[in-house]
Amino acid sequence: MSSVWKGPLERIDEFRWRIPKTYKQGMRADAVVVTDSQGLEVARDGEALEQLANSACLPGICQPAMAMPDIHSGYGFPIGGVGSTRLEDGVITPGGIGFDINCGVRLLRTNLELVDAAPKIKSWIDRLYRDVPSGLGTRGPIQLDASEVRRVLEHGAGWAVRSGYGTQADLECTEEGGRMEAADAAAVSARAMERGMPQLGTMGSGNHFVEIQVIEKVLAPDVAKVFELHQDQVVIMIHTGSRGLGHQVCTDYLSVMNAALKKYNIDVPDRQLACAPLGSPEGQRYFAAMACAANFAWANRQCITHWVRQATAREFGSTPESLGMTLLYDVCHNIAKIEEHSVDGRSRKLCVHRKGATRAFPPGHSDVPAAYRRVGQPVIVPGDMGRNSYVLVGTQIAMEISFGSTCHGAGRLMSRNEALSAKSPGDVRQSLAEAGVYARSASKRALAEEAPEAYKDVNDIVDITHKAGISMKVVRLRPLGVVKG
């Protein structure tokens, strides 16, 4: 039975609520959740707010520990959690990043209009289902030996592009250019590499998907023009991560971090927050391994992008170039990165953990691709299979109040087991069809687990981030067809 939060919550403004650091012994900073009154009531049910308070106990954490409006219980941090630690005396924790390292999402533009795509949605989705490997334990068409996997881990999406799975323009529109330079394959276990070798270019299971969508409404015309998005345009969203490799990296280093707690005399309120000082050998080695898993995920999404382009070109008897299949942007959700932020009036380098949260950098920021720098970083927020998704844009307010972060999706309301009990796969497929969405999945179970009712309404979540100013709406998307892992 889930618990209900009974601790203190102080209202800061209409969309921010504070758990003061006096709430429990060991809190080194306040904890703040960005949501509205209704969302707060949902967040009270379960462990998410307690996990947020626990994250504020990490050594070296900067004020405040944060959670986005899609907050729900996770491992260590709540999903939706953001925690920024100082380089000189702070820690890094796998529980603030998650098992699916660099689970992320990218959006492909096309020059197809709704009128062109609508008659082909079923055959198009069927082709994507055949041509994009998906599902638990799936093996992909790319077969690599151990030395080549090491190159993938250290070069990321760049490896994929050099291997013929994309273009330089794809790298320019990928967070970090699709590669974290700190990656060192020597920090990744043989078991993790063994799990990763057959899975490159595969989608995985759970909430991962390839979805055909249409731009239902343009909400910020000036920004949409810069993003080359317009009403009735058909786009393709891809959501997946680092597969078994990332999961194994997390598993491996949780053991390392548990030993580090004793070695460095670190006390945390939850063993799921096991951590090590950033500058320690354990912290540096984990950061290097996490960067490898992140690079693997970027390479993975890049290869899937290639399969999607090829399948779409075949479906329309054309080429990806003629169909205008260019990458808008690729953002990651589960990662820690070294970034510069203002703390107590001065600029400091921090290790920003984002777990189920998305970077949302503002206009003029040097890490925003040159093509978008005038308006800010694209933020891609998937919903569920039956409701909207969004493209947002980053803001200066996010830099000031949320360490340049915003939501990553809708956030779960039900566990997967609860969702399975609520509706049969057939019922979910039927309700999606009635909503005009054609769905294929690698397993029947996946459809029920990922039923729209299992999630919060992304429209509500995005309304909060927009009104709070941490990311602004650009376009609203509607699903037409989906391939689930």
**Catalytic residue ranges:** 408
Burial class (CB in 10 A: 0-12, 13-18, 19+), 322: exposed
For residue 327, what are the β-bridge partners?
A: 108
DSSP state of 61: B
Residue length of the chain: 485
Residues 6+ apart with CB under 8 A from 408: 68, 70, 80, 333, 354, 356, 357, 358, 381
β-sheet bridge partners, residue 442: none
**Does 141 sit behind a cis peptide bond, omega within 30 degrees of 0 on the bond before it?**
no
Cβ atoms 308, 482 nearer than 8 A? no
| CB-count burial class (<10 Å; 0-12, 13-18, 19+) for 289 | buried
Rounded to 5°, angle at Cα 125 from 119 and 130 = 140
DSSP calls for 272-317? GG--EETTSHHHHHHHHHHHHHHHHHHHHHHHHHHHHHHHHHHHHT
